[in-house]
Every structure is written in structure tokens, then in C-alpha cells.
Amino acid sequence: MQIIPAIDLKNQQSVRLYQGDFKQTTVINDSPLDQALAIEKAGLKNLHLVDLDGAKSGRPVNRATIEAICSETGLQVEVGGGIRSLSQINTYLTSGVNRVILGSAALNDPTLVQQAIEQFGADQIVVGIDGKNGQVAVSGWLEQRSVEMSELMASMVAFGVKTFVVTDISRDGTMTGPNTDQLKNLQVKFPESTVVASGGIRNVADLKQLETAGIKAAIIGKAMATGDLPLQVLAEVNANVG
């Protein structure tokens, strides 16, 4: 299983939200770069960055911090939050980012996803599907739509999207365990896709449960910050699970 540590960016700091609520913010580290360097030093290879300010405003806000992390580490970096145009995607991909995650754009501007896949390829374009009770949430989780997560995923698969970060926002930041059934159902329904688990993962047992369910990659945020899944353990899991 591929382990992907997460850093959420707000006001140039590393933070965690509770269930996607911008009013329930905890600062994890004043220096996201220092945190990224620690992740690399532990032996992990990947990093998931979310520009929370960008997701809310619809434009990249923490780009300078993201570019610093890309230039100062050798991590494979994926970035989401506020990316709404091909030019923004290109800017990230030419400044050291390995993969760009399109979230709200997948629902609000599907043509952008189609064009991005055609221009940059499925290896560099990931779609993030965030939802609650099986329905999609957009704009930094501030707005919920009556569109099924599986319905949105099907339309993206038709465009050639291969990788999906799937987040149950009712679990995110809660340390209550991932929505394994939902993740498994989506992976089974779309067997040629890679479903990346995000939200609620709290310990190694959760990771093993996800692997048993057929999930090949998982994003770890809150459990890393609390120490329930410290970097050394994540590095061991990344090397040994599966």
C-alpha cells in the first residue's frame, strides 16, 4: 500500500480541519516546509498538499509555500485546492509538482478535466471526489450537491481519469476510521481505477482493513499530526504492507 502523508495549508501554515469546517482549525506546524522535510527524512516518498485557502477562494493562494516544498525536497508532490484552469495546472506542473488534483472543477467544469487529461495525461491529473452520505461536496466542502459520488466518478472515468482521491468529509479529521465500505464499493465498481482513501484513518489496523478491501493507497493527515501514526510507523507500513 502506498502511504501519502498530507499537509493542509491555510495562511501559509500547516493545519487540520474537523469535518471540513474552516471554523474548527488546528495549527499543526508554522512551517509546512519543515514538516515536509521531516516527512522526507523519515523515508517517505510522497506528499499530498491541499491549499485550503485556494479551495475556498477558487484560486491558488499558498503557491509560494508549495513551490518551496517542491524545490527543497525530493518528495513526489500532489496538489489540490483552487485549481480552476489549464494555465494554473501548467504552472504547478512546471514548478515541481508531480500531480494536480481537480476537485470542484470535476463537477462545475468537466470540460476542464477532459482538456487537462488530453494535455497533461492521466499520470499527472487526479480527480478528488469529496462527499457526505454518498453525495458530492464542492468549494472547500462549503457546498453540497445532489450528485452521487459514483455518478461523478463514472463521468470522469469516461474522460480517461485513472486516479481518484475519495474523501468522506464526515470522517475527515475525526479519527473515527475510514468509510471502508464506500471506498471498497467504488473500487469494485471501477476496477481499472485507483481509489485513494482519505479521511478518518487512525491506525495500522485501518490501513490493513483498507488493503484487504482492495485499496492500494491512503492519505494520512490527522493521525500523523496526533502521533497515532507517527512518521516512522508510516514509513514501515509504506515499505511492508502488501
**Any idea which residues carry the catalytic annotation?**
8, 130
CA 160 – CA 59 distance, rounded (Å): 25
Residues 167, 55 contacting (CB under 8 angstroms) = no
Inter-residue contact 184 to 214 (CB < 8 Å): yes
DSSP 86-144: HHHHHHHHTTT-SEEEE-HHHHH-HHHHHHHHHHH-TTTEEEEEEEETTEEEETTTTEE
d(CA 92, CA 220): 22
Amino acid at 75: L
Distance CA 151, CA 139 (A): 18
Query: Residue 197's beta-bridge partner residues?
Result: 166, 218
216: Cα within 13 Å, side-chain hemisphere = 9
